[in-house]
Structure 1
């Protein structure tokens, strides 16, 4: 048995969901999770947890608020030295064999100070450590996203990138794997009903609400809490089992293009219509590759027209998704065990 110290960015569900899925593949090892926000969910999975201040992206009305995000970053790293010293104390007492970070800011710096190997395991570094032709548009968003990823989240020894599009790594420090997902998704058999599952982390815009109301389908909306139905719009409470049940039987999915939900939808054979959050380049990039691979489409400003055009392409997208294998859990677990063995 080895000990793994796992730092996770907890501002949204994708990072902790991926990290807990990794831990579930390695039950023979002992994990201690550190981070803020949703990272405390590790406790409910039987893992130890220590809180850390959290760098997070501030979203409102389907936009990244750049000034507020920068201000939040500045406030969060106040007391930087004390935080790093505290983490070094955690390393000294827990005595991990390896540190893993899923886009967490503090752990890689503490690990480097202590002399502990630290590995990045996330999706975001596909933007900085893989080769690809730069998509047109979103230049400013790309600049800030790539610059912050390199400056804030790249002080590690190796990069393990989990992605539904297999781009070639730039150098030997990087390896690319298929997506990591919770295995509970394998408990659900895909079918096809008429409803659409909708999850928009940054909020559902009035334009999208209007576009959905003009459709003949029922839209099951998550992320806004349980509310009274509005015509063909149902606002459902958060529930992992209920969500996956509805996802497995949906006609398709509407989301911002976040990597975790996109991968779960694609695994179940569901085409994805992505409306990326403004100035959220990773979501934009995911939407670009949904179109490149034929798995979905990127929504336009006219949401109603986007839905109409997307539904015309549904059968083509479903054909592209037939038979694809997106589970990278086992490959990633094997790679971590080899890292532990070589250390």
Structure 2
């Protein structure tokens, strides 16, 4: 049967184009995703990066909510230690008022940046990261669960109050987030694209096994966020993947450049060690013709016991990225329904 597919967008900056262009490419793709039947459109948060322009997912969510009709829109995620839980609750309650029943609030603990930038965002960043579980509890309180009577901010309310609330997710790439989501009875998404799947199945198992039902969620609701890329032919998909290969080599060295073009990747003088690393990437990459990629995504979902897959597709050519998501949606919709 068809998969539950969503999109994760980092507003990737491509070489030869500007960060504002990356933001506009995000807005254009979200409108198309709404038409193609994707369940959610999630925006990432990064700072001080030449690779990613998405520094303020809450603003992008508002823009997308105003130009779409059906799709859920959310953050993947807001890096909560940078901020006041009250302010995040207020922001997302405003978003919920703009698009009732369509807002997701995904939160994470990672800085989404380097240490200096994290300090610039919040001089108490290290202490705040240690308070992440308490921040999540406060966030849930201000979104409608209420704070304990003895909490110092128990009489502080987050406006605007309304009949619906954002759907809160915990995002992570380690056991910590999985256990936290299980404790609070929240949906959980593992960032498979960050770790290349290392530890992902174990984290999802911890989430399922430790899940405590809450008033918002009776049973575990897991998702996995993956890199995937397709095109009209398998050969073309692998050609487009060359941009990602070269970018990942840089990332693994601690350098985050704009996404190179296919031509730049083809002209790059790879060392033997780098070629070996690329071959390892290709062996596990979710790349190919549309039917091949859908089958690979289904296998990933099954291996993780996930109900949903969020797809990340950085691609130098925005038209090729749009085509990848359109072809993926079409191939997925063509799967037979369950008997």
TM-score, normalized by length of structure 2? 0.32
Which structure's relative contact order is higher, taking Cα pairs within 8 Å and 6+ residues apart? 2
* Higher-helix-fraction structure: 2
